[in-house]
């Protein structure tokens, strides 16, 4: 059996594929009929959902990544991430489609091929090339800093 350094969960945002550390993913949810909006929040903050009695803020990755079309489709999902292992640090991330779990070696991650910032994201952990597809691995620490600002 081959040893893997990292396990990633990949997802689609329009034509681009991104991934996050799968070990920091708590849940993958269908988009509920209602996401309760929160007044005076940035445009990327869609609102909050109730998940097993916990209030989870939900952000739209399409807006964070500066995409123009933010229409929900049949495959639109919320990935609930927990970058710090604390109950109150969980964050729901709205994506166009969850793709697959990828197990790979960390050394296969190359310096990101994206030039400069991608929307509000300043840093990526790197880019993985898999089956001729670029998968940009989001730095969850940077993402949570963007949301908390």
Highest mean pLDDT out of 67-76, 85-94, 138-147? 67-76
Token pair 């070696």: residue: 105
Owner of token pair 């091929």: 113
Residue 1 is predicted with a pLDDT of 39
| pLDDT at residue 84, as a whole number | 76
- Residue 89 has a CB neighbour count (10 Å cut-off) of 12
Confidence at residue 7, expressed as pLDDT on a 0 to 100 scale: 95
pLDDT of residue 17: 95
Please report the pLDDT score of residue 142 as a whole number.
Answer: 85
- The pLDDT score that the predictor gives to residue 116 is 57
Residue 24 pLDDT: 93
**pLDDT tens digits for 87-142?**
677 999 999 999 999 999 988 888 876 655 667 877 788 899 998 899 999 988 88
Confidence label for 58 from pLDDT (cuts 50, 70 and 90): very high
For the chain, the domains span 6-148
Check pLDDT > 90 for residue 22. yes
Q: Which of 7, 31, 29 is nearest to 19 (CA)?
A: 7
Q: How many helices (H) and strands (E) does the chain have?
A: 2, 10
pLDDT of residue 121: 79
**Using an 8 Å Cβ cutoff, are 33 and 19 in contact?**
no
Supply the pLDDT for residue 110.
87
Name which of 50-59, 73-82, 138-147 the model is least confident about.
138-147
Which CATH fold would you assign to the domain 6-148? OB fold (Dihydrolipoamide Acetyltransferase, E2P) (2.40.50)
């Amino acid at each position: 059996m081959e040893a893997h350094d990292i396990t990633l969960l990949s997802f689609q945002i329009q034509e681009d594929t991104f991934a996050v550390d799968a070990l920091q993913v708590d849940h993958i949810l269908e988009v509920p009929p209602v996401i309760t909006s929160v007044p005076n929040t940035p445009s990327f903050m869609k609102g909050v959902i109730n998940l097993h009695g916990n209030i989870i803020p939900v952000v739209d990755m399409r807006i964070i990544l500066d995409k123009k079309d933010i229409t929900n489709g049949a495959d639109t999902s919320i990935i609930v991430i927990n970058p710090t292992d604390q109950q109150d640090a969980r964050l729901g991330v709205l994506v166009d489609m969850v793709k697959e779990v990828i197990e790979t070696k960390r050394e296969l991650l190359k310096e990101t091929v994206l030039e400069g910032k991608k929307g509000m994201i300043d840093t990526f952990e790197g880019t993985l090339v898999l089956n001729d597809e670029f998968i940009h691995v989001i730095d969850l620490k940077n993402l949570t800093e963007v949301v908390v600002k």
